[in-house]
């Protein structure tokens, strides 16, 4: 299998291809106040766990992949409802923005 693309890289690429290349190709990343805050807030979403609440099975940090498409990722939360509907949930820091880059991660689920 070819090397899989991390779904979060699609978020970076959609926002700014140069930023994506710096992070995923050049491995150039530096923390700042905003990234540190976002990382701390997101740490709970990265801990695998599950619960059942009102008939909804909730999985946290659920690994997902597709060999056919060539991507890999981890869902913050996936809700499995009794009627068969599945809702992926992606946590983001701050207000909803005008760009599609935050939404693109959900398009694959």
pLDDT tens digit string along 45-56?
788 999 999 999
User: Which residues partner with 59 through β-bridges?
Assistant: 50, 78
pTM over 0.85: no
Q: What pLDDT, on a 0 to 100 scale, did the predictor assign at position 45?
A: 73
Which pair of structure tokens corresponds to residue 85? 């509907």
Identify the CA nearest to 47 among candidates 24, 63, 29. 63
* Per-residue confidence (pLDDT) for residue 15, from 0 to 100: 85
Residues of the chain with pLDDT under 70: 1, 93-94, 96-99, 107-109
83 in helix, strand or coil?
A: coil
The residues that bridge with 60 in the sheet, in sequence order, are 49, 77
């Amino acid at each position: 299998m070819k090397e899989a693309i991390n779904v979060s890289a699609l978020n970076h690429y959609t926002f700014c291809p140069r930023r994506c290349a710096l992070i995923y190709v050049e491995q150039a990343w530096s923390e700042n106040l905003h990234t540190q805050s976002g990382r701390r807030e997101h740490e709970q979403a990265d801990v695998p766990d599950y619960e059942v609440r009102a008939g909804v099975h909730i999985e946290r940090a659920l690994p997902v992949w597709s060999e056919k498409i060539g991507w890999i990722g981890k869902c913050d939360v996936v809700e499995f409802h009794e009627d068969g509907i599945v809702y992926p949930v992606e946590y983001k820091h701050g207000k909803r923005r005008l760009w599609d880059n935050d939404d693109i991660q959900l398009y694959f689920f």
